[in-house]
Amino acid sequence: MPVTPFHLGPALLLGLIFFNYLDFPTFLVANVIIDVEPILVMFLGLNYRLHGFFHSFLGGSIAALILILVMIKIRASLSSLLRFFKLEQEPSFNRILIASFLGIYIHILLDSRMHLDIMPFYTFDLNPFLNRSMLRDV
């Protein structure tokens, strides 16, 4: 299954554990935004790899940079929502930067362990993280 809520659980846990170092909303978004790629491939019927370019560290880095720019613009508007959930943080560029890259890279690493079509080191057609034991028929 290409899109699962699997990434949100670890993101919530790690985001709360490292709350003082990461921008919490950026980290949550970073952990799930990469799955926009397989959603578009499935719903638009694209002739493209389900876990394509943005499921690589190169593509993920580009996505992280875009996410940083977006979060810098909208982060202040999220403060009231965070305050409601008692998750107030002082937004900072460094926290947003760390949360964006870390969240996206964690997503890529988790997916790389179980999907055959991921090339985390694009343009090289290899996936050293793939756990082949998960692919056996039960």
**Per-residue pLDDT for the chain (138 aa), expressed as one digit of tens each?**
455 667 778 888 888 899 999 999 999 999 999 989 999 999 999 888 888 899 999 999 999 999 999 999 999 899 888 889 898 898 899 999 999 999 999 999 888 888 778 888 888 777 778 876 655 544
- Compute CA 9 distance to the chain's CA centroid, rounded to the nearest angstrom: 12
Q: Tell me the residue type at 78.
A: L
pLDDT at 133: 66
- Cβ atoms within 10 Å of 116's Cβ, excluding its own: 10
Tokens describing residue 61 = 């880095």
Name the phi and psi angles at 32, rounded to 5: -120, -20
How far apart, in whole angstroms, are the C-alpha atoms of residue 42 and residue 40?
Answer: 5
Handedness of CA 68, 73, 76, 79 (dihedral sign): negative
pTM of the model: 0.85
pLDDT at 123: 80
Is the Cβ–Cβ distance between 58 and 79 less than 8 Å? no
User: Given the structure tokens 């980290």, which residue do they identify?
Assistant: 27
Is the Cβ–Cβ distance between 38 and 2 less than 8 Å? yes
Is the Cβ–Cβ distance between 67 and 22 less than 8 Å? no
Q: Tell me the residue type at 64.
A: A
Tokens describing residue 105 = 């890279």
